[in-house]
Chains A and B, each alone.
Chain A
Amino acid sequence: MTYNLSRRVVLGVYAVLVIVPLVVVIFGSFKTSQDLFASPFTPPTDWQGGNYSKVVKDSGLGVAFRNSVIVTGLSVPLTLFVASLASYGIARTTGWKSALLFGFIVLGMAVPAQANMIPQYVQFETFGLTNSLLGLVLINIVVTLPIAVFILTGFLKTLPKELFEAAAVDGSGPWRTYRSVVVPVSVPSLSATAIFLFVIHWNDLLYPLLFINEADKRTIPVALLSFQGEFLTDYPLLFTGVVVASAPIVIAYVFLQRYFVAGITAGAVKG
């Protein structure tokens, strides 16, 4: 069968194209430059952690890692909280005002970061929010609100009305309904959105590059980018940085794969 043959060839070749560079990176992070250049594809002859201690201590990636944990750790739940409140309000009200509200917030998805980053920088500087991890948290919330509201409102609208009516009949006000009905039944969509936000916030380069110029406030992607100049073509060190920077997301991916696929795809399908 030509179909089965072409299927195997295409999938096989692409699997090699994805897996091989990743394996080279992991192996390479334990090698010296010489070893890497001599035999990039083979496992290291002895697994030395020297690159790791160098990267974490000397290059400040350890501090950056801590900063990224703080920024992402605050940005994701706060974005979810603010967005889910808004989505609940929008999903449970009707009429043109509700539709307008939704449209107004979701319109933000069409505005590229480059269109407002300069005034945002000026604004954040005026408020003393540049060179501040809190400033990064705030900008993360603001720029991901539109898409989070879009995803969560879409989900909440699929919930049966009876669910809310039953809560109201039981004498539950909107706030209690939010806490004891909306949040519990939304766990799957909240998780998917959380993963989506986690990936964006953890990997974001633009805003920390824009807002941060003190070395001890840098987040992981900015610190990693600065390797480029520092270590130029010391690939084992670059690779070690890549492994450290990606570790939290990769670990999460292994355990929460379903949510990753659902979240990142929901984020993509917004057209």
Chain B
Amino acid sequence: MSTTLTSERPPEAPTGPEPERPDGRRNPMAAHPALWLFPVPALVLYITFFVIPTIQGVVYSVTDWDGFSPTAQFVGVDNFVKIFTGDDLFRNALGNNLKFMLVVVVFQTVFSLALAVFLTKNSKSSVALRSVFFFPTILSSVSVAFIWKFVYDPNFGLVNSVLGAVGLDRFQSAFLGNDGQAIYWVALTQVWFHVGQMMIIFIAGLQQIPQELYESAQTDGASRWQQFRHVTLPMVAPATAVVMAYTTVQSFKAFDLILGLGGNPPKGSLDILSTRIYSGFANSQFGYAAAESLVFMALIAAITWIQRRAVKASSPDA
């Protein structure tokens, strides 16, 4: 089915302006010249406080600037060489971040799809449950972190209390205190935090699947599971792509949740890239942290790109 991928434009709504009239006649009112002034305030703010700092970040990244000295040494690619070869802290944070990402992307996508499938119909109970499941999304990460700090508390926490009460003491854990597992427990918190939001995206996708597809599948004798496997899953692929891409980016931005659960600065077992960069900044390693942040940005872009390729390759209809 690779032929469908080559020449076609994606089926989404065109983002660029369309030629307005085929006869070439222009509506004189369509673009009043003064309309070009309307984006000016946004542009001025955006360029001054966003674009220029982004470019400056690139400049910092090739220096050893500490943030307060009047001058800085040009160090070429030294910062980048150190990031890739001699920085255990960065490697640790990268490893944690990838583990975190993997767990969050898998669980959040699967759980939100499952919830969405069960709540697709707009019945009263479905609508009510949707708003319950969506609720955690509106809380601040610090709030969510404090709630889960108690859930995971080794001595008084909810999980260990419940396990103790039902006689499953052997499953009790130190959770965040266990360095080998801590990052996974935070990942589950992140899933709890955002699964409702992804569920809503899936519901929007599921509601667009034509009902006739299920009806004809039923007349063909397809079971519920077969309908899900051969109708729902392929048809919902575009929503899956959005959810996975968004979840990935989110898992690199989990800065607040980590600080809330792991302290500031977080202990090594909970350090991820965004907290590592922040620590570099807090320790006045401006040049080095700027280099780290560029690597960080490139990494997110690369992962997002690979993901898109994978989704496209696996679903010829999407």
- B35-A118 in contact (CB<8A): no
Given contacts A108-B46, A205-B256, contact A118 B140 (CB under 8 A): no
Of all chain B residues, which has the CB nearest A141? B45
Kindly identify which residue among A116, A138, A161 contacts B30, using a CB–CB cutoff of 8 Å.
A161
Count chain A residues whose beta carbon lies closer than 8 angstroms to a beta carbon of B: 101
B246 touches A (CB below 8 Å): yes
Q: Are B38 and A178 in contact (CB under 8 A)?
A: yes
Complex Cα–Cα for A264 and B250 (A): 14
Q: For residue B201, give the distance in angstroms from its CB to the closest CB of chain A.
A: 6
B83 at interface by CB-CB < 8 Å: no
Q: Is B263 an interface position by the 8 A CB rule? A: yes
Q: Mark A252-271, 1 if CB is under 8 A from B, else 0.
A: 01000100110011001111
Is A114 a contact of B156 with CB atoms below 8 Å? no
Give B102-137 as 1s and 0s: 1 = Cβ < 8 Å from A's Cβ atoms.
000000000100110011000000000111111111
Given contacts A108-B50, A221-B142, A221-B256, contact A168 B32 (CB under 8 A): yes
**Distance between A200 CB and nearest chain B CB, rounded to angstroms:** 10
Instruction: Kindly state whether residue B24 has any CB partner on chain A within 8 Å.
Output: no
Q: Please, which residues of chain B bring their CB within 8 A of the CB of A271?
A: 241-242, 245-246, 304
Q: Which of B138, B141, B200, B286 contacts A249 (CB 8 A)?
A: B138
- Decide yes or no: A21 and B158 within 8 Å by CB, A146-B46, A268-B242 being known contacts: yes
Interchain CA distance A242-B289 in the complex, whole Å = 32
Q: Which residues of A contact B168 (CB under 8 A)?
A: none
Which residues of A from 72 to 114 have beta carbons under 8 Å from B? Answer: 82-83, 85-86, 88-90, 92-95, 98-99, 101-102, 105, 108, 110-114
Given contacts A265-B204, A271-B245, contact A205 B132 (CB under 8 A): no
In the assembled complex, A212 has its CB within 8 A of some CB on chain B: no
Interface of B is mostly: helix
- Specify which chain A residues have a CB less than 8 angstroms from the CB of B134 in the assembled complex: 260-261
Q: Report yes or no: B46 in contact with A233, Cβ–Cβ below 8 A.
A: no
Query: Quick one: CB contact mask for B143-170 with A, threshold 8 Å, 1 for yes?
Result: 1001111110100101001000000000
Q: Any chain B CB within 8 A of the CB of A56? A: no
**Knowing A17-B192, A89-B39, A221-B142 touch, does A253 contact B259 (C-beta < 8 A)?**
no
- The distance in angstroms between the C-alpha atoms of A175 and B197, with both chains bound, is 36
A2 to B223, CA, bound (A): 11
**Does B259 lie within 8 Å of A225, measured CB to CB?**
yes
Q: Across the two chains, which residue of chain A brings its CB closest to B26?
A: A94
Contact pick for A37, options B29, B136, B156, CB 8 Å: B156
CB distance A122 to B67 under 8 Å?
yes
Q: Which residues of B are found within 8 Å of A269, using beta-carbon distances?
A: 201, 242, 246
**In the complex, chain A residues whose CB is within 8 Å of the CB of B90:** none
Which chain A residue shows the least CB distance to B200? A265
Q: Does B8 contact A (CB under 8 A)?
A: no
Whether A36 sits at the interface, judged by CB under 8 Å, is yes
Which one of A37, A118, A246, A260 lies within 8 Å of B289 (CB-CB)? Answer: A118
User: Residue of A at shortest CB range from B290?
Assistant: A118
Which one of B130, B161, B255, B294 contacts A115 once the chains associate, using CB atoms below 8 Å?
A: B294
Chain B residues lying within 8 Å of A120, measured Cβ to Cβ, are 49, 53
Residue of A nearest to B41 (CB): A82
Contact status B296-A112, CB under 8 Å: yes
**Complex contacts, B264 vs chain A, CB 8 Å:** 225, 228
Show the binding face of B for A, using Cβ within 8 Å.
13, 15-17, 20, 27, 29-32, 34-39, 41-43, 45-46, 49-54, 56-57, 60, 67, 111, 114-115, 118-119, 129-143, 146-151, 153, 156, 158, 161, 192, 196-198, 200-201, 204, 224, 241-242, 245-246, 249, 252-253, 255-256, 259-260, 263-264, 273-274, 277-278, 281, 286, 289-290, 292-294, 296-297, 300-301, 304
| Beyond A89-B39, A245-B142, A268-B197, 12 extra complex contacts between A and B, CB < 8 Å | A18-B132, A99-B17, A112-B297, A114-B292, A115-B293, A116-B54, A119-B57, A203-B140, A225-B142, A241-B146, A261-B131, A269-B201
Which 6 pairs show the lowest CB-CB distances between chains A and B?
A89-B38, A119-B53, A203-B140, A86-B42, A119-B56, A94-B17
